[in-house]
């Protein structure tokens, strides 16, 4: 017995030794990773306000940028926050799949769209933050991809709110137009964000911000209107959610997390207060990522609770065929946003080649 125990301890010790060797093995596998640079050493368009160091060099091989996933630089936390967020959503989706029949129950498709679009936007964002440092063209193209991710997530949000969270009175007013308008607003905010980025140099910063923020704010207000109406009724008339309306707490959570994330998206805090001291940890954009992940997790939880508790209502409001139409519209919206981003990437390519010729 003692021999078996000793043998197991010995094996465990060997395994621990192997784990301790992993960082060294990684270092040996990547013998010549260039170090990071200061802001003055990278072109202007790569510099972030109040971030003084931790920039990766341009024009390295793709392998280098993939491996910087394990390096300390000023985008590491931005990449990992959304990678881990995507993993959390994936785990939540697997857990839900034990009780929800995502294939045969068409009423579960809006929830499936939300799960897919959430993983989609987090993955696009992680890829953008990881690979955009390669060149100016990559910088534009990968952030256009990020905007496509965000736009299709807006659709995912709209569809669960309209399908599960809507009250009968608001449904009566927006029936037939809600999802087409939501789809149009996804395309508009994708275009606004891409165009704002494309005109980076030639437009004043406030015009660019208006182009990027206003269509997204309009889309958010429209897509979340069913939730606002329900939360408003809760605050005004009930005071406390009834037993089967636990979802309202999570809806409240998603709105609170979204609004606080929007604050950090539009304000470069805390790095403006501590310039050069948030280069690796503590940038406003990192806080924005984390709050957006919390917003998404609350939204998924709220939508699942609505899916379970409000079934008689949404089955009556949407019938049997609307879910299929919304799924098709989701695919059309993704394709349309991808087309917009591809078109804008073409414009960037032209602009960069003109700049190259002018040199
Ligand atoms: Zn980001």
CATH (domain of 294)? 1.20.1070.10
Per-residue pLDDT, 5: 47
329 within a domain of the structure (yes/no):
yes
How many angstroms does the Cα of residue 79 sit away from the middle of ligand 1? 8
Q: Where are the beta strands (DSSP E) in the chain?
A: 37-38, 53-55
More confident residue, 242 or 259: 259
Mean pLDDT of the chain, nearest integer: 90
Residue at 27 is within a domain:
no
CA of 61 to the centre of ligand 1 (A): 23
**Structural domain contains residue 89:** yes
| 38 CA distance to ligand 1 middle (Å) | 21
Q: Is the pLDDT of residue 349 over 80?
A: yes
Domain assignment present for residue 9? The answer is no
pLDDT score, position 204: 78
- Name the nearest CA neighbour of 254 among 66, 114, 140: 114
User: DSSP H helical segments within 241-310, as ranges?
Assistant: 247-266, 284-309
Asked which of 21-35, 130-144, 172-186, 254-268 is least confident by mean pLDDT, the reply is: 21-35
Give yes or no for residue 116 having a pLDDT over 90.
Answer: yes
Distances in whole angstroms, Cα of residue 73 to Cα of each of 28, 33, 34, 279: 19, 12, 11, 8
pLDDT interval class at 225 (50, 70, 90):
very high
Distance 108 CA to ligand 1 centre (A): 29
Query: Domain range for residue 315?
Result: 76-358
- Residue 147 in any domain: the answer is yes
Distance between Cα 42 and ligand 1 center (Å): 20
SS3 (DSSP) at 190? helix
What is the reported pLDDT for 357?
85
- Å from CA of 150 to ligand 1 middle: 10
Per the structure, the count of domains in the chain is 1
The alpha carbon of 358 and the centre of ligand 1 are apart by a number of angstroms equal to 32
Does position 340 have pLDDT exceeding 50, yes or no?
yes
Task: Tell me the per-residue pLDDT of 11-46, one tens digit each, with 9 for 90 and over.
Answer: 544 555 665 665 565 555 555 678 899 988 999 888
Q: Which two tokens stand for residue 204?
A: 């004043």
CA distances from 347 to 185, 206, 262, 333, 344 (A): 22, 22, 29, 21, 5
CB within 8 A of 117, min separation 6: which ones?
A: 152, 153, 155, 156, 157, 330
For position 11, what pLDDT does the model report?
58
Is residue 73 annotated as involved in ligand binding?
no
Inside any domain, residue 313: yes
251 is in an annotated binding site: no
Residue 85 lies in a domain: yes
Above pLDDT 90, what percent of the chain?
A: 74
pLDDT digits 0-9 by tens, 44-70:
888 988 999 999 999 999 999 999 999
Q: Does pTM top 0.95 for this prediction?
A: no
* Residues whose CB is less than 8 angstroms from the CB of residue 148 and which lie 6 or more positions away in sequence, other chains included: 124, 190, 334, 337, 338, 340, 341
Q: Is the pLDDT of residue 336 over 80?
A: yes
- Dist CA 178 CA 198 (whole Å): 30
In-domain check, residue 39: no
């Amino acid at each position: 017995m003692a021999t078996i125990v000793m043998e197991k301890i010995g094996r465990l010790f060997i395994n621990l030794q192997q784990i301790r060797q992993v960082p060294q093995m990684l270092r040996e596998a990547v013998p010549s990773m260039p170090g990071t640079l200061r802001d003055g050493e990278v072109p202007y368009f790569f510099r972030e306000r109040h971030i003084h160091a931790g920039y990766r060099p341009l024009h390295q091989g793709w392998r280098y940028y993939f491996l910087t996933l394990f390096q300390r630089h000023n985008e590491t936390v931005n990449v990992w926050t959304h990678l881990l967020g995507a993993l959390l959503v994936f785990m939540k989706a697997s857990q839900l799949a034990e009780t929800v029949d995502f294939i045969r129950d068409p009423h579960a498709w809006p929830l499936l769209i939300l799960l897919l679009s959430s993983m989609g936007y987090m993955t696009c964002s992680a890829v953008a933050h990881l690979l955009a440092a390669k060149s100016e063209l990559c910088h534009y193209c990968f952030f256009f991809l990020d905007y496509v991710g965000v736009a299709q997530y807006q659709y995912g949000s709209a569809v669960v709110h309209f399908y599960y969270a809507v009250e009968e009175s608001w449904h009566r007013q927006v029936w037939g137009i809600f999802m087409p308008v939501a789809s149009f607003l996804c395309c508009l905010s994708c275009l606004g964000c891409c165009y704002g980025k494309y005109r980076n140099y030639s437009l004043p910063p406030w015009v660019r911000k208006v182009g990027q923020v206003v269509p997204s704010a309009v889309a958010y207000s429209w897509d979340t209107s069913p939730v606002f109406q329900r939360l408003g009724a809760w605050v005004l008339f009930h005071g406390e959610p009834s037993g089967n309306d636990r979802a309202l707490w999570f809806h409240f959570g998603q709105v609170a997390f979204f609004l606080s994330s929007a604050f950090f998206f539009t304000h470069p805090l805390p790095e403006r207060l501590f310039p050069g001291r948030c280069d690796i940890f503590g940038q406003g954009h990192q806080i924005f990522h984390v709050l957006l992940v919390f917003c998404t997790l609350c939204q998924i939880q709220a939508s699942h609770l609505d899916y379970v508790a409000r079934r008689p209502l949404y089955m009556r409001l949407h019938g049997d065929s609307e879910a299929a139409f919304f799924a098709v519209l989701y695919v059309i919206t993704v394709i349309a946003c991808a087309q917009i981003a591809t078109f804008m990437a073409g414009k960037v390519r032209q602009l960069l080649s003109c700049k190259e010729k002018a040199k």
